Structure 1
């Protein structure tokens, strides 16, 4: 896994309201577009330097497209990045205060230490 690339995706999508909404509504399309158009630009790479680390793996692409924060955590994506993005995308779908955050945590509750390395 290119944890850096996945984390960069999560970070940049979370920092742009229009992109956050686009990812909420069309996750697979947003992932494909970002990977093809933005990954190299954001990381300041020229086309001649394009390597496999500028592409998501199939598992990364699937997890990002499915909004699967548990799979992303298992692969080493930083949980704070998924949490802040999920708050922006999904908190509005819950009626109770902090219900989204409790749901997020409950889906991770079955995991036990040692947790995946989240360092990049």
Structure 2
């Protein structure tokens, strides 16, 4: 398991409107593509440097592919990164102000404090 890789995915997808739309409409395909093409790139590096060992495990891959923010939180994904991406993906489906944000919080309400460690 790699919290770094989960957070990198959330960060990178959230900052690209095209990737946000792909994640909304074809999440499994985007996760597969991103893992193959972007997971091993060096974040914010434009020199072509890359590693070869970063991969999602099956649980991470499934949580990302099913938009399961509760499982991602359990796995240590940063809740602000998850929330901002999922707002971009799902907020348009709601009619009330902050409806998605309230739903997001309610689904995490069963977690006792302190929350799982989100350090990478």
- Residue 62 of structure 2: aligned partner: 62
Q: TM-score scaled by structure 1? A: 0.92
Q: Aligned ranges for residues 93-104 of structure 1 at < 5 Å?
A: 93-104=93-104
- Residue 50 of structure 1: aligned partner: 52
State the superposition RMSD in angstroms.
1.0
User: Which aligned runs of 4 or more in structure 1 are off by greater than 2 angstroms?
Assistant: 41-44
User: Number of residue pairs matched?
Assistant: 115
Give unpaired runs (5+ residues) of structure 2.
44-48
Give unpaired runs (5+ residues) of structure 1.
none
- Residue 23 of structure 2: aligned partner: 23
Question: Are the structure 2 counterparts of residues 42 and 34 from structure 1 closer, same or farther at C-alpha, using a change threshold of 3 Å?
Answer: farther
Q: Aligned partners of 2:74, 2:114: CA distance in 1, in Å?
A: 11
